[in-house]
Amino acid sequence: MTRKLDSVDQAIVERLSPDARISNSQIAEHLGVSEGTVRARIKRMEEEGQIRITAVTNIDRLQNATLAYIWIEVERTDQARQVAQRLSGIPELGFVAVMLGRSDILAITMVRNTEHLARFVHSNISCIPGVRRAESTLGVNFVKHDYRMARIVS
């Protein structure tokens, strides 16, 4: 059984978020707990799947890469989860979610250019049974990219 994060767990996560390389002793000193407490809690949260410590790419530093949003409409609403599951098996997609609103599914990937995006959509997405339509948009000017958003994507 996975338990909810308490205030100490949340404080540890907040300290790890800007820089996961921070030492357990620095976190412990800031929170007024022992280093062993911090270490044990991080280990438990990782084992229970509550957190994952990973590197997050700074999109501004990637050469010739553009973030592509692919909005997918399925033929029947009851196919959305099945199509999303199929999409999740495509390694190039970094995000797949069933959505509420105009589109049934949102998939996000990185592409080199519009030709690359068109080939990717036609060869990997449009051919999936149940996909009615796929519409793509490209991110062209990122005003804000909050690295902490990676925490909500599993």
pLDDT in tens, the chain (154 residues): 668 899 999 999 999 988 899 999 999 999 999 999 999 999 999 999 888 887 766 655 556 678 899 999 999 999 999 999 999 999 999 899 999 999 999 999 989 889 999 999 999 999 999 999 999 999 887 777 666 555 444 4
CA distances from 120 to 7, 42, 81, 88, 90 (A): 44, 38, 21, 14, 11
* pTM reported for the whole predicted model: 0.65
Q: What is the CA radius of gyration of the chain?
A: 19
Q: Where do the domains of the chain lie, and which CATH numbers do they carry?
A: 7-47 (1.10.10.10), 59-138 (3.30.70.920)
